[in-house]
Structures are given as C-alpha cells and as structure tokens.
C-alpha cells in the first residue's frame, strides 16, 4: 500500500472556519490526502485564519514562526512541506503574507477554497499563488459532497453553512470585507447535505452563517425562501432530532422565524443574538441599525413564541467614544435579558473599518476594567441560569465520552454540557437527565425515567418579564 499524503488543517476563529476546514479536507481527500494531528510530519499544512480581532490575526504569524522550523527539517530530510494560509487573514492581507512570511506557498481567501487542487499544482511548479479575488462562481457549487459518495463520520452533531458574508457593515467589523457580500445557498443543496449527514449518523445540525437569519435562498419552487421556511424543511428530514442556527442579527428576526420556534419541537430554544452594546448612542455609532428598545422587543417576541428560550450574546467594550454611562447601559441589559451565556471582547481597531479612524479611542486600562466588570455580570447571569436547571429534567443528546470513565457528555437544549454515567453504546441517543449538580463548566445528571419529557423545565427557565 502506498503511503498516504498527510494533511494538517488548523482552524482559528468561528464555526464557519471549522466547517470550511472540514470541506477543504474532504476536497483534498479526493487527491489522496489523509488528515494528521502532527503538523510537523505533514506534506501539506493549512492555516485557516481569523481576522476578527488583532490578537486573532497575530496568532497566524506566531504559528508560521513555529512551522518555519518544521519546514526546514522536512526539507533537510528531502520531504516537501507546502504551507497554505487560508481564511480571513489571507483575504485581508493577500500578498503581504508572502512578504512577511516567505515560507508560505499559497494564500487563498474564503471564497476560493474550491481552487485548492489547482493552486497546489501551481505551487508544485514553483509558483506562489495568491487567490483572493472574489470568485464569480459559487464555492458552494464546487464543494458539494459527491452525490452518494462516502462521507467521513462526523459524530452526532454537525455544522452546515447556509449563508455566508454580510451586508450590514457594522463600523467595527471586518466580515463584510473578508467574507464579502451576503450569499445564500439554494435550499435543495442544503437539504441534500443534511440528508447526507443524517445517513452518516448525525442527529443535530447547526445551520451557520455570518448573518444566518438574513438567509434568502432559492427554493425548489424558484421563489426566495426565508430561514424560517428552511428550518421547517430541515425539520422534515428523518433522523435529524435537533436543529440550531447561528449567528443572528436582531434586525432580521421575522415572523417566519418566530413561527418556526412556535411550531417545531426539533428547533432548540436557544438563540445567539449579539447586541454588542446596551447604549443607543454606541449602537448608532456602531451602525447596528437597531436600538436597545428594538432588541428588547425582539427578545420579548421570541419569548412569546418559545417561553423557555435561552439567549446568548456578543459584547464589545471600549468602542470609540463609549463613556462610563454608556457602559452601564450594557451592564443593565445583561441583567434585563438574563443571558444564559455571552462572549465579551475589548474593542480592537481593524484596519480599513470606519471605527478604527474614529476619535475618542478608549484607553486600554479602561477597556480592561470594563471587560472584567462585564464578564462578572455575564458569569452571574450564567450561574443563575444554570442554578434554575437544578432539579429539572433536561433532554440530553449524548455526544461523546465524558471526563471520567463510564461517563458520557452531551448537550441540553440550552447548549449546556451535561455529564451522565452511561455506556458508550448510548452515544447519539437523546435521554432525559435529572440535573443533580451544577459544576463550573457543566451540569451533572442521572438518567430519569425515559418516558419523561423536558416540559417541567419550561416554566422554570423562563427569565425576565
Ligand atoms: N473588536 C472587538 N470585537 C469584535 N467583534 C467583531 N469585530 C470586533 C472588533 N473589531 C466581535 C463582535 C462579534 C464577534 C464575532 O466578534 O462581538 O459579534
Ligand atoms: Fe460583522 Fe455581524 Fe455586523 Fe455583519 S452584522 S458587520 S458580521 S458584526
């Protein structure tokens, strides 16, 4: 048997990068590449990079510093090692990457991954291609899984990209520049992929997009379908027990999405709905196109549709011009919503975005202090949310072996990790777990009577009004 060509893909940043990394590995599998965790032995190393904040972008260059040594020893042994920088840093910096890191052989932007086999051929001929022009054809057409072809087992949960890019242009954000304008995959392509995953044993799909609820894809009837309608269609696929979607924009929550939450038991009561700030002044400067009141109304309508809906958010502290008074409005919105969890970031100026050129940049020590206060408020809300689950029964989708021998870990409807003593044969099952203990990072449960449902949790988990 000839030795397989080894591929190492390292993914940074968002779930879409994780998905794209898998797709690149699928594409290269057709060329005989097999994934390895040991980058130093790989023939092909792909860094799928993130440009969202400065720290994320800098990680790429420090990783390339490490790889330089591996590449040198590979070449000393007469082995080839091809280095690819993909993702949003590739898109934003292009040629500059080759100047800063001459060991890099290929630079490829997120819309062009389907060109990889051709780019590899060029690199083999000694070229150093940079492919960051937004391709005219859709990468979605080119990265379709081969019809009826073998799919590598993915576990019981999977991501599916349904939409990519963003037309919102929040003043702090690079996404509209690195991922380009909004595009939605056609319904039939998405359905084919979800069916494929269901056949491979996947029980839960998360539909992903930078602005997923702005989805407006072509339906089989030739009309434009919304996310709500897509969710209704995905719910018809047998084998798929749970559906999630992320990330949503408050402006794009429409009636069809509310109806989907009202009607579909498969659709999990868990919504990542970034607000970024609680201050109307800051929201306007961010060009979020919604105020605090609009956001609260969207949350209220969601809770009307699904009373046990859990919310999570992203926050930015220290946006240019943010005063102590603005920041306090962010703190109060955290308590008002009662988030089940949230991510918080210090504002990081991104070259080329409007906010980077704004006056009144907030000093670093102020950002640090606000971040600590915000994280404390988020942690307090998260702990309160988890505490309300104690003594309730939650349905848990068992995903993989847990921390201790004999234990499995799965997720509650609200995305909380739940540890439970059960044999590995139960992976992929959804079991009712009585929550007996709340740990720092997960809940602990024991198997409840298998006929019980999680309806007891609904009233306990309703937060807010
Ligand atoms: N600085 C800090 N955080 C940012 N985010 C996006 N751009 C920036 C930036 N320039 C955060 C937002 C977004 C999340 C994915 O990253 O909160 O929702
Ligand atoms: Fe960035 Fe999200 Fe704003 Fe789009 S909606 S510009 S992805 S923060």
Q: What is the pLDDT of residues 377-391, one digit of tens each?
A: 999 999 999 999 999
What average pLDDT does the segment 192-210 reach?
Answer: 96
Residue 396 Cα to ligand 1 middle (Å): 31
Asked if residue 238 and residue 278 are part of one domain, the reply reads no
Is residue 213 domain-shared with residue 200, that is, in the same domain?
yes
216 lines ligand 2 (CB under 6 A): no
Q: 151-192 pLDDT, tens per residue?
A: 555 699 999 999 999 999 999 999 999 999 999 999 999 999
Residues 112 and 210 in one domain: no
Q: Measured in angstroms, how far is the CA atom of residue 460 from the centroid of ligand 2?
A: 33
Report how many domains make up the chain.
4
Rounded to 5 degrees, φ, ψ at 272 are -90, 110
- Residues 395, 301 share a domain: no
Residue 127 sits in the same domain as residue 170: no
Same domain for 172 and 263, yes or no, is: yes
For ligand 2, is residue 275 a contact (CB within 6 Å)?
no
| β-strands 270-272, 310-317 pairing | parallel
Q: Of 332, 367, 385, which marks where a domain is finished?
A: 385
The average pLDDT across 228-232 equals: 98
- Ligand closest to CA 52: 1
Structure tokens at 91: 């898109």
Structural domain includes residue 410: yes
Instruction: Determine if ligand 2 sits within 6 Å of the CB of residue 250.
Output: no
> Which has the closest alpha carbon to 253: 200, 208, 211?
211
Take residue 293 and report the two structure tokens written for it: 């009141």
Question: Is 147 within the bounds of a domain?
Answer: no
Are 18 and 129 within one domain?
Answer: yes
Question: pLDDT by residue (tens digit) across 335-374?
Answer: 999 999 999 999 999 999 999 999 999 999 999 999 999 9
Query: Domain with 228 in it: what CATH number?
Result: 3.30.750.210
Atom of ligand 1 nearest to the CA of 14: 15
Q: Tell whether ligand 1 has an atom less than 6 A from the beta carbon of residue 348.
A: yes
Q: How far is the CA of 237 from the centre of ligand 2 (A)?
A: 31
Does residue 202 fall inside a structural domain? yes
Residue 166 forms part of a structural domain:
yes
Mutation choice for ligand 2 from 14, 168, 314, CB with most ligand atoms inside 8 A: 168
- Residues 246 and 300 reside in one and the same domain: no
Kind of pairing, strands 163-164 and 341-346?
Answer: unpaired
Ligand whose nearest atom lies closest to the CA of 169: 2
Does 275 lie in the same domain as 237? no
Task: From the CA of 276, give the closest atom in ligand 1.
Answer: 17
Residue with tokens 């799909």: 205
Please report, rounded to a whole number, the percentage of residues in the chain having pLDDT higher than 90: 89
Supply the range of the domain harboring residue 34.
Answer: 5-136
Is residue 146 domain-resident? no
- Please report, for the domain that includes residue 114, its CATH number: 3.40.50.12160
Q: Which DSSP category does 32 fall into?
A: T
SS3 letters across 99-152: HHCCCCCEEECCCCHHHHHHHHHHHHCCCCCEECCCCCCCHHHHCCCCCCCCCC
Say yes or no: 11 and 119 in one domain. Answer: yes
What CATH number did the domain enclosing 408 receive?
Answer: 2.40.50.140
Residues 368 and 405 in one domain: no
**264 and 275 both lie in a single domain:** no
- Average pLDDT of the chain, as a whole number: 92
Phi, psi of 259 (to 5 degrees): -65, -40
Domain boundary among 268, 288, 318: 268
Q: How is the chain split among helix, strand and coil, in percent rounded to 5?
A: 40, 20, 40
Which of 349, 366, 385 is the C-terminal boundary of a domain? 385
Determine, yes or no, domain membership for 142. Answer: no
């Amino acid at each position: 048997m000839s030795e397989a060509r080894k591929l190492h893909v390292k993914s940074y940043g968002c779930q879409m990068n994780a998905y794209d990394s898998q797709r690149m590995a699928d594409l290269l599998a057709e060329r005989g590449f097999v994934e390895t965790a040991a980058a130093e032995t790989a023939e092909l190393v792909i860094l799928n990079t993130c440009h969202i904040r400065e720290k994320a972008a800098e990680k790429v260059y420090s990783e390339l510093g490490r790889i330089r040594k591996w590449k040198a020893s590979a070449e000393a042994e007469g082995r080839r090692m091809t280095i690819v920088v993909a993702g949003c840093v590739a898109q934003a910096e292009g040629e500059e990457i080759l100047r800063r890191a001459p060991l890099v052989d290929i630079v490829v932007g997120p819309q062009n991954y389907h060109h990889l086999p051709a780019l590899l051929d060029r690199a083999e001929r000694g070229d150093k291609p940079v492919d960051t022009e937004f391709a005219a054809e859709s990468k979605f057409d080119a990265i379709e899984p081969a019809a009826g072809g073998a799919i590598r087992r993915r576990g019981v949960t999977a991501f599916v990209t349904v939409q990519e890019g963003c037309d919102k242009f929040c003043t702090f954000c690079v996404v509209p520049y690195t991922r380009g304008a909004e595009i939605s995959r056609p319904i039939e392509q998405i359905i084919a992929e979800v069916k494929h995953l269901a056949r491979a044993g996947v029980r839960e799909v998360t539909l992903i997009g930078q602005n997923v609820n702005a989805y407006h894809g072509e339906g089989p009837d030739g009309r434009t379908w919304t996310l709500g309608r897509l969710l209704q269609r995905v719910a018809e696929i047998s084998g798929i027990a749970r559906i999630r979607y992320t990330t949503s924009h408050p402006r794009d929550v429409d009636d069809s999405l509310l109806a989907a939450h009202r009607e579909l038991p498969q659709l999990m009561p868990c919504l990542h709905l970034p607000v970024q700030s609680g201050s109307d002044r800051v929201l306007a400067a961010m060009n979020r196109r919604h105020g605090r009141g609009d956001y609260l109304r969207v949350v209220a309508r969601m809770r009307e549709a699904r009373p046990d809906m859990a919310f999570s958010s992203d926050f930015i502290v220290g946006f240019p011009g943010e005063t102590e008074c603005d920041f306090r409005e962010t703190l109060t919105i955290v308590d008002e919503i009662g988030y089940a969890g949230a991510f918080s970031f210090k504002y990081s100026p991104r070259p080329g975005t409007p906010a980077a050129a704004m006056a009144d940049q907030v000093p670093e020590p102020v950002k640090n202090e606000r971040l600590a206060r915000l994280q404390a408020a988020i942690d307090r809300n998260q702990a309160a949310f988890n505490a309300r689950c104690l003594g309730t029964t939650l349905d848990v989708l068992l995903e993989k072996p847990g921390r201790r021998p004999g234990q499995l870990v799965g997720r509650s409807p609200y995305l909380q990790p739940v540890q439970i003593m059960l044999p590995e044969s139960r992976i992929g099952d959804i079991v009712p777990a009585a929550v007996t203990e709340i740990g720092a990072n997960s809940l602990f449960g024991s198997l409840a009577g298998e006929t019980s449902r999680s309806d007891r949790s609904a009233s306990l988990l309703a937060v807010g009004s």
